[in-house]
Amino acid sequence: MDNFSGPVRQGPDTKAEVPAGGVGLCLSGGGFRAMLFHVGVLQRLNLAGRLPLLDRVSSVSGGSITAALLGLHWNQLKFTDNVATNFDDLITEPIRAFAHLKVDLPAVAAGALLPFVTISDRVVSKFKRHLYGDATLQDLPETPRFILNATNLESGVLLRFSRPYVADYKVGRVDRADVPLADAVAASSAFPPFLSPYELDLSGEQWRTEPGNEHTSAGYRNEILLSDGGVYDNLGIETVWKRCRTVLISDASGHTDADPDPARDWARGIIRVLFLLDSQVRALRRSAVVDAFTNPHDPHDGFFISTVSDLRSWPVPANRPYVDVDPAVTERLAAISTRLTTIPDEQQELLINWGFAAADAGLLAYLDADLPAVDLPYPDRPLKDGQDVRS
């Protein structure tokens, strides 16, 4: 029988019943919207001097785009008093430039029309050209541990990409796999139905079998079909919850709007069903996490912030930059498409500001009541109504 404890399923990365310590950061899916929101979260953690305190960074889908770039450049960050002074040069600006590109539709079109070219090939090509080059998992740092999560369609659980190993607790592990970073991100962000599945060829690798591995035949260890990590765990908490006592969760997955007249054709109908299923899974995960944080017997601390947070009910001093955050603006930001496609500058800056403000509120309310106030990254883009936030 499956073993559940709190908001996660038991697996080899979640063995300790009570985490001894450590700080984990979870970055959710949500396409380019999530990619940018998480940049704002990371900017606030950086200015608060908390990036060097991280032990694990776990991500799925759009969150993996940002996490992988942070991991790739981690050892180039120049820390002064625990603040990386070159964070924007290495992380913010490349992510913003990437957010001007169109990735998903051109990849789908090329994969459908060109022989010997798959959709995944085109996505990987964009990631390599604009963000990761020829870097592999072995270019990630030893510490903190960066874990990019994809859903293994064959075993039904997560396949985890990290520097020490690529692993699935039902299949086994490959130690020190030299998988290109762009491929790991493409697998993690292979959102169904158009970008999924992603095929990962590990047939030439040396697999290690451990207790609990149920599916060890070549059929499970050669060409593996993967989908978006958010299909299984859209918050990316699976590999963090039982390893870290402090868990910081950034959820940019948004919400699924009501529709008085959903499409009746099978193609659009099944997409609507997929979105509703995804929304339900996310809601259950969020509920479990919030219940755990508010349970006095649970050892964890940290915060849960999201693009749909309403900061009006949070304890905030008058000098905070998010005091005037307008829920009408943040609701529209949360409704921006989760696609991997162009987001204009104004929306980019608003999303980064929103992630920054939400992280500031989370730190202040739950971890550091004396956290000094700082300005938003883009002061000319206040989170007030009147901003252009069309999706």
What is the set of active-site residues?
61, 228
Pull the structure tokens for residue 132.
Answer: 């990761």
In sequence order, which residues have a C-beta less than 8 Å from that of residue 280 and are 6 or more positions away? Answer: none
Of 168, 138, 135, 134, the closest CA to residue 151 belongs to 168
Query: Which residues, in sequence order, are bridge partners of residue 57?
Result: 25, 146
Of 106, 107, 49, the closest CA to residue 83 belongs to 49
Of 314, 347, 349, the closest CA to residue 332 belongs to 347
Burial of 319 (0-12, 13-18, 19+ CB in 10 A): exposed
Query: Which residues, in sequence order, are bridge partners of residue 59?
Result: 27, 148
What is the residue whose two structure tokens read 């980064």? 352
Residue type, 1: M
Is-contact 272 259, C-beta < 8 A?
A: yes
